[in-house]
């Protein structure tokens, strides 16, 4: 730990790879470990795929909202790991965070250079015209429909 502490102290640019383990301390269950959401029902993984969405949008959206409801509720807060990375930026370090998480907790903690590799639960884009819709719109409509195309 002392070597890690020293390297962080001396670094001006830090790159972080973040995954499900980062957000479990905030109370968000991961997907793949024992008891994870995918292990409870493997059909969920297929139902969350792009191909399923494109071929079954009216079935996709209710399943998506049910599965991710806990992340949409806004009850989760950044934990000490998220706030630690944000604090490094406040100290003047350039911190790039590449995350698989879609929960938005790195940004909520204050990190500026966050690359959400699987997107974010906060927005969705129309696959045809790329119009972006925010979470309140997605929650308001049972099956969100692009306003530009409909």
Give the catalytic positions in this structure: 118
Q: How many CB atoms lie within 10 A of CB 79?
A: 17
Cβ atoms of 103 and 23 within 8 Å: the answer is yes
CA distances from 1 to 74, 79, 120, 121 (A): 33, 20, 32, 34
Task: Map tokens 């699987």 to a residue.
Answer: 118
Q: Cα separation of 74 and 91, whole Å?
A: 28
Under DSSP, the state recorded for 30 is -
Cβ atoms of 131 and 53 within 8 Å: the answer is no
């Amino acid at each position: 730990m002392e070597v890690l502490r020293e390297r962080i102290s001396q670094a001006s640019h830090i790159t972080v790879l973040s995954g499900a383990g980062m957000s479990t301390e905030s109370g968000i269950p991961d997907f793949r470990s024992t008891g994870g959401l995918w292990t409870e029902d493997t059909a969920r993984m297929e139902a969350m795929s792009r191909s399923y969405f494109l071929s079954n949008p009216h079935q996709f959206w209710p399943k998506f909202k049910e599965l991710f409801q806990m992340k949409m509720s806004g009850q989760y807060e950044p934990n000490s790991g998220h706030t630690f990375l944000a604090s490094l930026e406040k100290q003047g370090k350039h911190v790039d965070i590449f995350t698989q998480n879609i929960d938005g907790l790195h940004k909520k903690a204050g990190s500026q250079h966050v690359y959400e590799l699987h997107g974010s639960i906060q927005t969705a884009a129309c696959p045809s015209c790329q119009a972006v819709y925010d979470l309140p719109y997605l929650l308001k409509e049972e099956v969100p429909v692009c306003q530009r195309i409909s």
